[in-house]
Chains A and B, each alone.
Chain A
Amino acid sequence: MILCSFLISSDRFRSRVAVEYGKAVSIPQELVDMYKQGGESKRKAIAELLDRTFAGLKSVTVNAPDYDTLKVVQTARRLLRPVNRQLTEHENLELTRRLMTVGLFFDSA
């Protein structure tokens, strides 16, 4: 997690942003071979790689199925904030993501 102070937010210059790097997605040689074959297997290779990329991006973003769930999770995170110290931005994001997992579990149950 790298915190930079020079990137811009959508409505204010020089506001803070957390840039989170996920695990690199490697491309196996099988997919390249499938891509080279063309046709249906090319499509399959692209779809497979898209899935992996999507999973990678999901691990570094906060994803909610709808706006209400996001609000609930953000409220829960604020309630869980410890009083004796401030969470780092990385901890905050991780907490949000974990709460989202829990929320989705109870939502589907």
Chain B
Amino acid sequence: MNKTARLFVILLLGFLLLVLSFVYAHLLFLWFLLSLLLLLVGMLLLYPQGKTHISHGDDLEKERARLEAAINTLQVGFLLIDADHNLVTLNARAQAMLHVVPPLPEEYFYKDLPIINNNFTMQKLEEVFSDETNLKGMIDECILKKKPLEKREVSFGKKYFHLMLSPIVVFKQKPEVIGCVLLIEDATEARVLEKSRDEFFSIASHELRTPLTAIRGNISLIEQYYSSTVSDERFKHMLSDIHISSQRLIHIVDDFLDSSRLEQGRITFAKEVVKVDELVEVISKEYQSVAKEKGVTLSYDKPKTTVVAIGDPDRIKQIVINLVSNSLKHTEKGKVSLTVTSSEKSVTVRVSDTGMGIAEEDKKKLFTKFQKTENHTYAKDATNGSGLGLYISKLLAQGMEGNVTLEESTVGKGSSFVLTLPIAKE
């Protein structure tokens, strides 16, 4: 603008000088020449300016075409709705998804389809979705609250859409919503995949566990009811090996399934008030015989007052059992001690042992999937071979907003693992 103004001043000066040269005819010819020169310079300078004005229109047109093409080639449905609930823009993908136009080759949509279809109004858009979807309500809420909204798995015929609404906010004196953008994503394929994954879990767990359960169950019954009829010690030993192996195999299958479920967020955690001190006491009693067999002392220093955490009792039990059996497995002499303490925010279960300890370079591998430590397969042994015990424990704890960490460990002296859980406020 400043440049233009300057040019006008130059032109004006030139023009005035020209007029003056005519009015005062006695003025020198030089004046006349000077004024002509000024006019010429001004016009020359204005010319490209004028040209810019013309090309601006071109640029706008180009920009508009570019935006339209971009919106039309989006792989999601794009709809622009103004604050008065008018459908302003509807891209090719949306028109195809909502059956506004009959199915046509993709290239057609991208190139030629205008981004508005006058036959498809806001009313029609609201009608194509079920009452349950309540698209109008969603748009109202988005504009009113100035917040993005989304709705998953909205059924549309045989398909499932994911709807995302975002308000268009402009800042004048204060933020003002002038409409909203509705994005529609076809989530049908994702849903089919999800479903087949569900089926895989059901089938894998069922098909693998069933024969394993039969093997373990029958051996268990033989040992329980017929061991007196087996006099050959070697035979007895073989039966015992089959039993233990089948137990290990079931553990491995369970660990695989558990870790996959956890990774995919498919495990739901109960949020209950759990008396951690009592839960640990039960586990401590259960594992006394295992400790005794190894000649290791298993002690539990029960707190004087009840310690309550928020979490899933079964999962907490699973974690503590894993930590305790881990420690017992890696402690040849000495003791494994359990403590339960609480602070303002959390409950801590500490499992310390006088076992083999973990080397510095192995510490960071402990909680990763399938990692075996160089020294001894600490993580591996923990779950009878799956290498997932600590990995699962950590994921389980994190699912309850807690954690499992290695507090300290020295090779040859022992380790101390800690489970933290959010405290239950009374």
| A and B: bona fide binding partners | no
B-to-A contact residues, CB < 8 Å: none
